[in-house]
Structure 1
Amino acid sequence: MNAKKAKPRKERKAGKVKTATKFARVMIGRAIMGKAASGRHRVAITGAGTINALGLDVPATFAAMREGRSGIGPLDFRDVDRLTIRIGGQVRNFVPEDHFNRQQIVLYDKFTQFTLLAARQAVEQSGLIFDGELGLMSGVVLGTAAGGVNTWDENYRTVYEEGKNRVHPFVVPKLMNNAAASHLSMEFGILGPSFTVATACASSNHAMGLAFNMIRSGSSTVVLTGGSESMLCFGGVKAWEGLRVMTKDACRPFSATRNGMVQGEGAGVFVFEDWDHAVARGADILAEVVGFAMTSDAQDIVMPSAIGAQRAISGAMHDARMNPEEVGYINAHGTGTAANDKTECAAVANAFGPHADRLMISSTKSMHGHLIGGTGAVELLACLMALREGVIAPTIGYEEPDPECALDVVPNEAREARVDAVLSNAFAFGGLNAVLALRRV
């Protein structure tokens, strides 16, 4: 037998105590040096990864955004002919067997698979290895609205349609919302705080905002953060059909001819890192995260509030110590619904005042669809492209100006422009708003 002999219980317990003791010493040492209480550590982004309808990595996604290319098309899955809505931002040319073995596929819902692939790209770009103290001082904070929807859908079929009385024993660990975060911590040896945020369409921005604050406070050195979603299955789309906010043809944010949103799927994962730690190891810093704010409308479960959104936008700038005149671009929530687009434009106009006329704002949902809990993570890529490459992603499908959306929405074609500061908006059902502020390095 080649199997390793299990360590005696006392030895295992001693190992855990030793690790916990080391962690405690690290935190005490930081507090003594003033690190844990210094208030505002700078936060760098040193890695980015994605898989979405526009591409299976960041370069492919950037190329599609520059070209204004749509990733929305006919849906391809079981029983799609029973749906009224048959288009979506579905990930194409993705073969799980190319990335995971049979045992892993049994355990990973599609949203977890997407997360792992995006995270591998981000960590590889960052050059980090999470061993020793870094593993102890790192965490994972991810956003998802619904977790393993494909697993729910498949197993409801097994029980209700096929009449079977048993499901696979790993159904619960496969569908749980924290599955992706837990698997990231295991894959990379991350021993600090790891958890999932579920706040509907603001999940990723809330997750990234919390990761930002964890590093800024000194409690973590590195956090893998972002979000993922995969609701493009019969049950997932059928549920959204019931809301009557979906379009049958195309997503046209801010256009007077818009008639609804389009669902998408995928993941975006980033390496948020303590600035001094990144500089000390010579990391390539993609951008700096400088502010975050979150608010609640406390008004309606589905209808957005311009006041709540405005407070989040202004709050993010205040947190970043940023004047409105410094912001050159906003990646909008921009769902293509009348309720969101008018409300968001009013919020931006009120938050920026006269500067709103000189501000560029676009919705990349027009290209990749609405990734629900994962949407803010993929959309942060457009912010990185603006800051790092000087290219503003367009709002495609724009046909006719809407007097209630009288902002520069970068219609149909990408634009070259140097911007030094950007915002990323996310506004969710339940009246939950989350806005991130970034600066160019």
Structure 2
Amino acid sequence: MDVVVIETPPLGDRSYLVHDGQVALVIDPQRDTDRVEVAAAEAGVRITHVAETHVHNDYLSGGLMLARAHGATYLINGADAVRFQHQSIADGGTVRVGRLTVKAVATPGHTHHHLSYVVTDGPDRAVFSGGSLLYGSVGRTDLVDPEDTEQLTHDQYASVRHLVEEAGPDAALYPTHGFGSFCSSGPPSGAHRSTIGEQLATNHALMDPDEDHFVQELIANLTGYPSYYAHMAPVNRNGAGPADLTVPESVDPTELSRRLDDGEWVVDLRNRVAFASGHLRGSVSFEYGRGSSFTAYLGWVLPWGENLTLVGGRDDVEKAIRDLSRIGIDSPAAALGTEPAALAAGTAVVHYPRAGWDELLRRRSAGDVVLDVRRTDEYDGGHLPGAVNVPLHELLSRMDEVPAGRVWVHCASGYRSGVAASLLQRAGRDVVHVDARYRPAAPS
């Protein structure tokens, strides 16, 4: 058995191509299925089966398109109310994929009808656990319905134990979530591989002997998750269509100015330092780059379904279009180029200052505001005396709660505060971007 890992770092997820050298099973594919096609071609295998561990909340699935393209069997829990042709599978159900045996194991918790898959090839065994057992944690249990969270958390406690019994300690573990995904109930472990045995010795969900304690602790530590999640499961139940990944022709400078004048969302993909130094008035900063969580924060912060224009170099725009397609933001317009003055006709190029903590201490005036845009749980864990907390994802709807005066805005690393600074300036506020890592001893 060979397992090819297909990573999606911007969303903190993984998909898998599992094969025997001839035929393959794909588990939890994302919407941009060309990556799976490349992996299958490189392995020289034919895709005969596609399987979902659950109806996903954090991305649009490419499973239906992939199955149709290959005439493959599409495995989905029969209890999930999907509206397209598939092969139902339930707890204990097995299928053969070449010499591989694939067994479904009911692991409710992340969703009501979540399945994991135990794949066996002779003495080798691997577990594909979706949003059930993760590296060091488990999938969050509050994405279905607030009234179901407590019961789903009890289910999650039982499910990971059931999965361990089915798989055995030597089985390799391959979760879908847990690499930065907001679908995880805990922070990323940093691990790139693990086994069931290792998780028995390190995973809090398996080490806690008190089920009620586990349930209370997990629920108490659940934090916010992106608002775009509300749109994912309904589309996945209907079957997501193909993504258009083509880069459009660059928007005319006059047209880009009109969009800015009309208050449309024009997103500058350049790094936050370049943006602060000079950008089109009315544009907002969502720095594109490795590890930036660009997709999650854009989908979380900006209003859903409104017109979107990306501004940046062709390579960044092309990658951003792919990333956004995974969460259903399709076919944004683009203004290609990295010199703002050349991209729009008659729109002013503006800037705002960046600062570190030392500058905040020296230059902050008595009437200035320190705005902390970290999540509430982060703020509660420690914050600057007198700092006002409005989480980034709530800033647009709570802009009037930011006190009058010059605003010094910070987060934990500088990324979220860069977004916030651009939104504040767009709203007419005098802003300073505190582009520095937060530390408890930072001056106030």
| Band the TM-score falls in, shorter-chain normalisation | under 0.3
Q: Which has the higher strand share?
A: 2
Q: Which has the higher helix share?
A: 1
* TM-score normalised to structure 1 length: 0.28
- Larger Rg belongs to: 2
Query: Highest relative contact order (Cα 8 Å, sep 6+), 1 or 2?
Result: 1
